[in-house]
Structure 1
Amino acid sequence: MTGLPGQFIALEGGEGVGKSTQGRMLADALRARGLEVVTTREPGGTPGAEAIRAMLLSTEGEGWGARAEALLFAAARADHVEKLIRPAIARGAWVICDRFVDSSRAYQGGGGGLSDAEVLDLHRIGSGGLLPDLTVLLTVPPEVSAQRLALRDGGTGDRIESRGAAYHARVAEAFRSFAVQAPDRFAEIDAVGSPADVHSRIMARLAGLLP
């Protein structure tokens, strides 16, 4: 127990924006301040949620429709929230999560055609409607994202990464709309530039939450 309130930070954005890199850098910076930090990801973070992740992202078979996909993500998140995220926050830890419910809203909602209300209803049922204290939305132009993905995995992404440009454009637009609708919860960060530059921008936006 730290004696200080825990905080929940989610990193969001489309493919190739640098969430994993920035999550590691943020965790290191917070630990240097003496804070307990838990890093995790979605879908995943617990054994049950990781099993669902493997099913969701596998490139074998026909894949899932948008509704089945949303249900699986919600189930993975429910286990993740109950067993890892809420207990960590309760003991005063900072939780840094690579994706959370806004990804379901953007991918299965904006990209897959489900309504935002449907996705949020699943989240309310499965995870009690938990939202991050701050959602860091990393943004890059589509051409930068494509270049980064090509360098990272040679253009052979998982089932969701491999969807077409029109799908990912809808996802990006959905993320932008969420940030406009909830400016107090979202910090939109330009993720073009060196990892150190992007990290500095994130830390500047976090200043109000830091002890």
Structure 2
Amino acid sequence: MRKLLIATQNEGKVKEFKRRFESDDLRVLSLLDIEGAPDVAETGSTFAENAVLKAEAIMKLTNHPVIADDSGLVIDALDGDPGVYSARYAGPEKDDEANIDKVLKEMKDVPKEKRNASFHCLLAVAIPGQNTEIFSGACNGMITYERSGSYGFGYDPIFYVPSYDKTMAELSPEEKDAISHRGQALDRLEEVFKELF
């Protein structure tokens, strides 16, 4: 059986990749399946740089095809923050609830018309002996004043999607996959998946 390694320890991201790519002849693994897997430092200044850093580091370590994702929330009223620091915005523990609390606190006095935000996803695909490929996606929305919904992960409970009149966390997994930043990047990857692998 062929194996595809996703360079993440985020279980929510792993589920999204498995829904899309796992099949009878392709097993999707993550860093959670590799004992002693390193946590590659995200030292890049952009989502793309961080995705490439992670994909190439894990590919060199395992000699397997690797997909790495770097994604995050960009809020206009916060000058683009949390941006590349989305996962660790409230500290190195990567605590989703603390990150949400920090955003809501910083946004508490921002009026509704200035709460625009976007999710961005950059996927880097590193395959031994090939050039690293990059695929991107973005989803526009607004930051709510409080949490709503129980699906998803990360900032989903405070990211409102106007076209659905719901937060990302109120969308079913299938609805989210259809419109999310990662869903869009995965769509672009899926178009060339068989050629790459």
TM-score range, shorter chain: 0.3 to 0.5
**If each structure's strand is expressed as a fraction of its own residues, which one has the higher value?**
2
The two structures have a TM-score, normalised by structure 2, of: 0.33
**If each structure's helix is expressed as a fraction of its own residues, which one has the higher value?**
1
The higher-RCO structure (CA 8 Å, 6+ apart) is 1
The two structures have a TM-score, normalised by structure 1, of: 0.32
